[in-house]
């Protein structure tokens, strides 16, 4: 049985923040263009970034919200790590721009992380290690994306924009203390995008069983075994949400109830925010959690892997929750756009 | 495009880093080292809060090439709660019509994108309608 990853020094989430862009593209509007409205829809609608938004701007706002809840100066951050598969530059870190915009420069680590949809949780695990070793007191881990799907492809219905940020710090200052983490990674070619290609490729039916369900299921089962816990020991659970169906199905397979995943299931009205997906579910869950609640999170990134981690919420949640906007505040702020507007905004029009 | 000028101004552009006058307490933005109110030296760095009110606005429909991808957009004169007045784009308006007196808050967004997609992406402050919050 694999051993749980746990730091020497207890760590947790000192502050968290979410961000979801204002604009929404309903799935039925995409279906109107490509299938004459026929067929099932994987979600209701997805969040679309405005013309002036990208992974960097999404990261900045989510991180400002996390700093507001943490109540610390940005200068105290010793790492600014941005996980994404849509970094605006091929070469030039997103993280230096984010760090500068927060005021965390110059004495900090900065780096961009990539692992499809689990780059954000990968950065969190690294932050647990950095703080847990005693090398530093605060690290910022972000997962954010402005995901693109090929026009007409199944992924176009769900590929969305958004992100979440977490300031990891000492357990005694945390609003949710880390109980442990465990990852499950294999070389599984379910989804990829080659350099300089605008849209990803995917292995169609290969994306479900051998990828999503195998990795999340294995990570979650190993985590439960290593912690000697059962689904009933958790108040809430969040599983990566590429569509509405997958997280509900894996929850049921693992023995979690619909009530346990309800607060974190944001995909029906936000879409799949890729690196932001599972952790946006975590911010939405922290928004309603009470001291003593236990939360299990299992991300999934194609390629493929899952990070399982669990937290126990502390009394500090009550005083910090209202210090920044809730995830649902952003979800409620909603302006619907049509497919033509979406096509212009997402750069799918060739002008020259 | 002048890379060195963008680089020098990044702190004020990314997060409204201005100055405060140690003599009369006035906030300065952009930073200019001399207080416009009392004429004394004012070099103390201070990050402004970033909330304000729309004082005047206009819609730009014929944008310069580096701004063309975001056209049309609204440019406003914003009276910051901290005191200074500045010019900035309004963003995230959605279906909201801007108006004089509208409460706005600062966000950091893409200001311009080299139109050949090879140059730098320039980020900086814009203002949006204040996000409505259920708590707080
Ligand atoms: Zn003065």
Mean pLDDT of A182-190: 95
Mean pLDDT of A73-95: 97
Give the pLDDT of residue A252.
98
Task: Compute the distance between CA of residue A238 and CA of residue A40 in angstroms, rounded to an integer.
Answer: 24
CB contact under 8 A, A329 and B111: no
Interface of B with A in 35-94 (CB under 8 A): 47, 69-70, 89, 91-92, 94
Would the pLDDT of A223 be above 70? yes
pLDDT tens-digit series, residues A329-344: 999 999 999 999 999 9
pLDDT tens-digit series, residues A274-289: 999 999 999 999 999 9
Please tell me if residue B108 touches chain A, with a CB cutoff of 8 Å.
Answer: yes
Give the distance from CA A19 to its chain's centroid. Answer: 11
Q: Residues near B7 by Cβ (< 8 Å), separated by ≥ 6?
A: none
Please tell me which of the candidates B69, B108, B135 has its beta carbon nearest to residue A57. B108
Triad A98, B34, B52: Cα angle to 5°? 50
Q: How many angstroms away from the CA of B18 is the closest CA of chain A?
A: 13
Q: B1 falls in which pLDDT band (50, 70, 90)?
A: low
Interface test with B, best of A19, A22, A52 (most B CBs within 10 A): A52
Please answer whether residues A286 and A171 qualify as being in contact, where contact means their C-beta atoms are separated by less than 8 angstroms: no
Q: Using a CB-CB distance cutoff of 8 angstroms, which residues of chain B are in contact with residue A348?
A: none
Give the pLDDT of residue B117.
76
Looking at chain A, the whole-number percentage of residues with pLDDT higher than 70 is 99
Q: How many angstroms away from the CA of B88 is the closest CA of chain A?
A: 13
> How far does the centroid of ligand 1 lie from the alpha carbon of residue B28, in Å?
9
pTM (2 decimals)?
A: 0.97
Q: Which two tokens stand for residue A92?
A: 């030039």
CB contact under 8 A, A57 and B123: yes
pLDDT tens-digit series, residues B29-52: 999 999 999 999 999 999 999 999
- Chain B CA closest to residue A23: B94
Domains of chain A: residue spans and CATH = 11-175+324-345 (3.40.47.10), 176-318 (3.40.47.10)
Please tell me which of the candidates A97, A326, A335 has its beta carbon nearest to residue B135. A326
Give the pLDDT of residue B64.
86
- Chain B CA closest to residue A99: B14
Q: Which residues of A touch B (CB under 8 A)?
A: 21-23, 50-54, 56-57, 60-61, 88-89, 97, 100-103, 321-323, 325-326, 328-330, 332-333, 335
Nearest CA among A223, A233, A242, A250 for reference residue A295:
A233
Task: Compute the distance between CA of residue A174 and CA of residue A127 in angstroms, rounded to an integer.
Answer: 14
Nearest CA among A15, A31, A160, A155 for reference residue A74:
A15
Would the pLDDT of A149 be above 80? yes
Q: What does the mean pLDDT of chain A come to? A: 95
Which residues of A are the active-site residues? 85, 117, 240
Q: How many angstroms away from the CA of A53 is the closest CA of chain B?
A: 6
Mean pLDDT of B76-101: 97
Q: What does the mean pLDDT of chain B come to? A: 93
Higher pLDDT among residues B116 and B57, named by residue? B57
Q: How many angstroms away from the CA of B131 is the closest CA of chain A?
A: 8
Q: What ipTM describes this predicted complex?
A: 0.96
Give the pLDDT of residue B136.
67
Looking at chain B, the whole-number percentage of residues with pLDDT higher than 70 is 97
pLDDT tens-digit series, residues A107-138: 999 999 999 999 999 999 999 999 999 999 99
Mean pLDDT of A164-183: 98
Mean pLDDT of A181-208: 87
């Amino acid at each position: 049985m694999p051993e749980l990853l746990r730091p020497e020094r207890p760590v947790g989430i000192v502050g968290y923040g979410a961000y979801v862009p204002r604009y929404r593209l309903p799935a039925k509007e995409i279906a109107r263009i490509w299938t004459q409205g026929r067929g099932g829809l994987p979600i209701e609608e997805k969040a679309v970034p405005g013309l002036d938004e990208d992974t960097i701007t999404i990261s900045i706002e989510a991180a400002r919200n996390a700093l507001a809840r943490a109540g610390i100066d940005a200068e105290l951050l010793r790492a600014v790590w941005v996980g994404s598969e849509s970094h605006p530059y091929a070469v030039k870190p997103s993280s230096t721009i984010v760090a500068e915009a927060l005021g965390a420069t110059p004495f900090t680590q900065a780096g961009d992380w990539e692992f499809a949809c689990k780059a954000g949780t990968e950065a969190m695990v690294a932050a647990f290690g950095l703080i847990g070793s005693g090398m530093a007191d605060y690290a910022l881990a972000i997962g954010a994306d402005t995901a693109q799907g090929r026009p007409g492809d199944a992924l176009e219905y769900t590929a969305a924009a958004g992100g979440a940020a977490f300031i990891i710090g000492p357990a005694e200052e945390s609003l949710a203390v880390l109980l442990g983490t465990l990852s499950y990674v294999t070389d599984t070619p379910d989804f990829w995008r080659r350099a300089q290609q605008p849209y990803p490729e995917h292995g169609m039916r290969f994306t479900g069983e051998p990828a999503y369900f195998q990795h999340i299921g294995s990570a979650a089962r190993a985590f439960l075994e290593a912690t000697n816990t059962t689904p009933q020991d958790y108040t809430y659970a969040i599983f990566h949400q590429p569509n509405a169906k997958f997280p509900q199905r894996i929850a049921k397979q693992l023995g979690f109830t619909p009530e346990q995943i309800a607060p974190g299931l944001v995909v029906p009205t936000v879409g799949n925010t890729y690196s932001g997906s599972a952790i946006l579910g975590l911010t939405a869950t922290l928004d309603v959690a009470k001291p003593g609640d236990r939360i299990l999170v299992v991300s999934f990134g194609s390629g493929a892997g899952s990070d399982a981690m669990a937290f126990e919420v502390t009394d500090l949640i009550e005083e910090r929750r209202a210090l920044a906007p809730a995830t649902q505040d952003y979800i409620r702020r909603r302006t619907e756009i049509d497919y033509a507007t979406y096509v212009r905004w997402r750069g799918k029009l060739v002008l020259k | 495009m002048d890379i060195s000028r963008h680089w020098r101004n990044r702190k004020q552009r990314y997060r409204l880093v201005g100055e405060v006058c140690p003599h009369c307490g006035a906030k300065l933005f952009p930073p200019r080292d001399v207080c416009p109110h009392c004429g004394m030296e004012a070099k103390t760095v201070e990050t402004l809060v970033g909330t304000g009110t729309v004082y005047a606005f206009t819609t730009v429909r014929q944008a310069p090439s580096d701004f063309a991808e975001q056209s049309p957009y609204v440019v406003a004169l914003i009276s910051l709660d901290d005191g200074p007045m500045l010019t900035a784009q309004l963003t995230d308006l959605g279906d909201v019509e801007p108006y004089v007196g509208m409460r706005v808050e600062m966000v950091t967004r893409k200001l311009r994108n080299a139109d050949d997609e090879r140059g730098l992406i320039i980020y900086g402050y814009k203002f949006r309608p204040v996000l409505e919050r259920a708590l707080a």
